[in-house]
Chain A
Amino acid sequence: MAKPRTLFDKIWDAHLVDVQEDGTSLIYIDRHLVHEVTSPQAFEGLRQNGRKVRRPELTLAVADHNIPTTNRSAGIDDEESRIQVETLEHNVAAFGVPYFPVLDVRQGIVHIIGPEQGFTLPGMTIVCGDSHTATHGAFGSLAFGIGTSEVEHVLATQTLVQAPAKNMRITVDGELPAGVTSKDVILAIIGTIGTAGGTGHVIEYAGEAIRAMSMESRMTVCNMTIEGGARAGMIAPDETTFEYLKGRPMAPKGAAWEAAVAYWRTLPSDPGAAYEKEVVLRAADIVPQVTWGTSPQDVLPVTGRTPDPAAESDPAKRASIERSLKYMGLEPNTPIDQVKVDKVFIGSCTNGRIEDLRAVAAVAKGRKVADGVHAMVVPGSGLVKEQAEAEGVADILKAAGFDWREPGCSMCLAMNADKLEPGERCASTSNRNFEGRQGRGSRTHLVSPAMAAAAAITGRLADVRELTN
C-alpha cells in the first residue's frame, strides 16, 4: 500500500516538474498574485533580460499597499507611492497581466480578492511577493510568500526552485467558547509555538474548532501562519470550502466544477500520515487574546498582566522583554485590560472581510466610540465595502462614530497616509506589532475584530465579553 500522505505532500507531489539529487525541486505555480511594492524590480529584471511573462492568465495584479483610503478619485498625493502604482499599471499593460484598477469595485487587498474572485482554489500552488500569502491555504492550497527575485522567476517560468518543507500539524480540539474567535485562536497558537515555531514547516490546521470555522475565519488563521514562522498554513478543503467557492467569477463552472470538486475531495491528509511536529490546543482553554509587546508571540489572555522581566532567567529574553515594555510604554505586571488606546484599526488581510465587519457591528450597534478615540474601518476590498453597505453594517458603524473608508492595506503597515503618531497606542486587527510597524514610535496591540470594537467603545483594551455577555 502507498505511504499515507498529508495534504501538503499531495499538493507538492502534484506540482513537481523536476527533482535534483539533493531534493531541490522545481515546482509548478498555478496562481500568482502581484502588487505594486514587491513587483517593480521583478518586471524590470524581465525587461533587462528580454523575457516575457510565461502565463499572464495565471497572474492577477492589484495595487493595495500604497493607495489612499479616502476619496481616491483625486489620485495619490505622495509622489513615491504614486510612482509605484503607476509603475505597476505600466508593467501590467506592457506584459499583458490581468489587473483590477484602483477605481474598480473588485480592487482590494491581494489576499482578500484572490478568494473573493475564485482565483484561489483548493489543491493549487499560489504565490505572491507578500508573506501573508499563507491566507490562501485556508482553501487547501499550498500558498506562500516569496521575495522579488522569486516573483521574477515565477513571471518568467511559472515555476519556483524550492527545498521541500516538513509537515507540522496544529489541532484545536473542541468548541470555541462565546466571544472567542479565529483571531484569538491564531494568536494563542503563536503564543504557544513562538514566532520561529513553524520555521521550515508547512502547518496543517485541524480539529473540531477549525472544521467548524467559516472560510473567513479559516483565512484569518492561515493568514498569520507566517507570524508563527511557517511560510504556509493550510486547512483541508471540505463542504464549507466548496460552498464558498461555488459561483465565484473565476471558479470552474458546470462539468469542470464537478470534476474539480471530485479531485478536491481526494486532497485531505490520509489517515496515518506522518507529521514531524504536532501541537494540540484545547479550544475551551482559549480566551480573547491581546498582544502586549513588539512581537506577535508577546501575547496575553485579556485577563492577564504584562510580564515582569525580573521573572525571566534567559538574559536574551529578559533584554527583549525590557526593550518591548519600554517601547510600548508599559510597566511590568499591568492588567492589560486597563491599558487605554488612542486609535483603533479594523481591516487588513487578516481581518478585513465581511464577517469581521459584521463582528465589529455586532458589538458597536447602539453604542458610541469613546471620546478621544479615533476608530477607523478599512474594508478589505471594494466588494466587501459594497456588501457591508448593502447589509447595513456600514450604517451601524458610521452611527457609532467609526470612520468608514475605502479598501486597501492602510494602517496595517502604514505605507499610505494612514499611520500612528509617535507614542500613539492602537488596538489593531492587523497581523504585526513590530516596532514602527504602524508609524515611527507607534504602539500596536493585536486583537480580534470584536475586541477592537470593544476597545473603540470603552477606550481601553477591554474584554469584549464584558459588553456581550
Chain B
Amino acid sequence: MDKFTQLRGTAAPLDMINIDTDMIIPKQYLKTIKRTGLGKHLFAEMRYDDSGAEKPDFVLNKPQYRGAQVLIADDNFGCGSSREHAPWALLDFGIRCVISTSFADIFYNNCFKNGILPIKVTKQQLRELMDDAAKGSNAVLEVDLESQTIGRPNGESVSFEIDPHRKHCLLNGLDDIGLTLQRETGISEFEEQRKLSQPWA
C-alpha cells in the first residue's frame, strides 16, 4: 500500500447525498479478479451514456477535473455494499482523498486499506470546500495528514479528526496483515483457551 502524507491537487465537486457503491462502481465491473484497471469504470453509469460515450456534463468528464485527486461529496458517501472495488476504482482513477460530512462504515474502512484518506468535515466546511472545488484547477486543496489539515485556496485551513491507529498506518503505508502476524503468540493463546471454554466454536 502507498503511503499517504501530503496531497496537493484539484478537487472535484460531486454535490449529491447518499452516493452508493453501485454508483461508484456498478456490479458488471465486479467480475474482475484483479484490483487494478477499474478507474475507467468509476461512476460508469453517470459518466457514460448508453453507447459508452462520455457525458460531457458529468464532473469527472470536464477538462478541469479529469486529473482530480480529491473528491468532495455530500452526506453518507459510500453507502451500500462492501465491495472494495469502490476504493480500487477511485484509486485507479487517481483519487487519493474523499471529503464528505459522513461515510458508510465499510467504505470508510476499505479506504484505509488502499492508501485513500477519507476526511469527515462539518456541513459548513463541506459547503466552503465544495465552493472551492467549483473553481476547478484554479483552486487546489492541500491535504496534510500529519497535521490533519486541509489548506484552502484562500489561505484558510480546515482541521479534521482521524483515529491515531489509522493515521499511523496510512502515514507509513503499513500492511495490517504483517502487523497482526507479529501477534501470533496472542492469537494462538486465544485459540488454546477457546478450545477449552467453547469446544464447539
Contacts and interface: CB of A to CB of B under 8 A. Distances in A.
Interface of A: 17-18, 20, 22, 24, 26, 28, 30, 37-38, 40-41, 44-45, 49, 51, 65-66, 78, 80-81, 83-84, 87, 121, 123-124, 129-131, 133, 145-150, 152-153, 156-159, 161, 163, 195-196, 199-200, 226, 229-231, 252, 256-257, 259-260, 263, 295, 316-317, 319-320, 323, 413-415, 422, 432, 434-437, 440
20 contacts: A26-B183, A26-B187, A28-B190, A38-B84, A41-B33, A49-B177, A51-B177, A84-B31, A131-B106, A147-B82, A196-B75, A196-B104, A226-B80, A263-B198, A316-B16, A316-B75, A323-B16, A413-B81, A435-B22, A440-B45
Interface string B61-80: 00000000000001110011
Interface stretch (B6-14, B89-97, B109-117, B152-160): B109-117
B77 to A, nearest CB: 10
Contacts, number: 181
B85 to A, nearest CB: 8
A195 B79 contact: yes
A38 B200 CA distance: 28
B122 to A, nearest CB: 14
Query: Lowest 4 A-B CB distances belong to which pairs?
Result: A149-B113, A252-B200, A80-B31, A40-B33
B34 A41 contact: yes
Interface in B145-201: 163-165, 176-177, 179-181, 183, 186-187, 190-191, 194, 198-201
Given A147-B84, A256-B200, A157 B163 contact: no
A64 B52 CA distance: 29
B55 interface: no
Interface in B88-134: 102-106, 109-110, 113-114
Given A147-B106, A415-B27, A161 B176 contact: yes
Contact of A432 (B22, B102, B105, B201): B22
Given A129-B82, A157-B181, A66 B31 contact: yes
B163 A38 contact: no
A199 B187 CA distance: 29
A164 to B, nearest CB: 11
Contacts of B54: none
Most buried by A among B20, B27, B82: B82
B5 interface: no
A196 B102 contact: yes
A146 B16 contact: no
Most buried by A among B87, B183, B194, B200: B200
A434 B187 contact: no
B32 interface: yes
Contacts of B191: 28, 158
B135 interface: no
B126 to A, nearest CB: 10
A153 B75 contact: no
A196 B186 contact: no
